[in-house]
Chains A and B, each alone.
Chain A
């Protein structure tokens, strides 16, 4: 079975500082990994994904994520946080083989960026 863990319910960061939202996963086979953002009272918006190749993936709104196979992690990062980045962030995993094509989502991490 595949699973995703987002160990932090909430991350607080000051505007202009770098941010990291953590995600670890467990799958059988190679993973496809995704990050989504959810603003209040909205659906989920796709940010970025890792399929294969370069471990550093760049996505929307200046976000990037680093795939680390040995640590089974896919942490979301941004060099300089904005107040408007405050939202709920979800990590998701889908197995390339031996697993389900149904993506499994983490519980979500609330990012709060303080002015």
Chain B
């Protein structure tokens, strides 16, 4: 597609339920990033995929969070046993391979998660 696509755009879930957030990066972009943005705050890095390399999971806040990526395409971020503190916007971004790390990172519109 023309841009990074994320779904769902909005999700309200009950505390304790699992949620899956999907990201479809720009075609040809081998690098994919997930960030979290809590209300009124900056971006918090979660996880980074680069091609077929092992992902960098150093930003995942707990073992309730996991993410997968199918080849160099779609990624899914899963939050298990959601807590109210998980309420945030989850932003996905993609870029061409960062061998030259000046490549621009393009963001999706985000998935707005509310845990009640």
Contact = CB atoms under 8 A, between A and B. Distances in A.
Interface in A61-93: 90, 92
Sorting the interface of chain B by its residue count into under 10, 10 to 19, 20 to 34 or 35 or more gives 20 to 34
Q: Please classify the interface of chain B as helix (H, G, I), strand (E, B), loop, or mixed, using the class held by over half of its residues.
A: strand
Interface in A27-42: 32, 34, 36, 41-42
Interface residues of A, number: 25
Given A46-B106, A101-B50, A32 B42 contact: no
Contacts of A108: 41-42
Contact of B42 (A42, A96, A107): A107
A104 B45 CA distance: 8
B41 A107 contact: yes
Contacts of A92: 105
A23 B19 CA distance: 35
A90 B104 contact: no
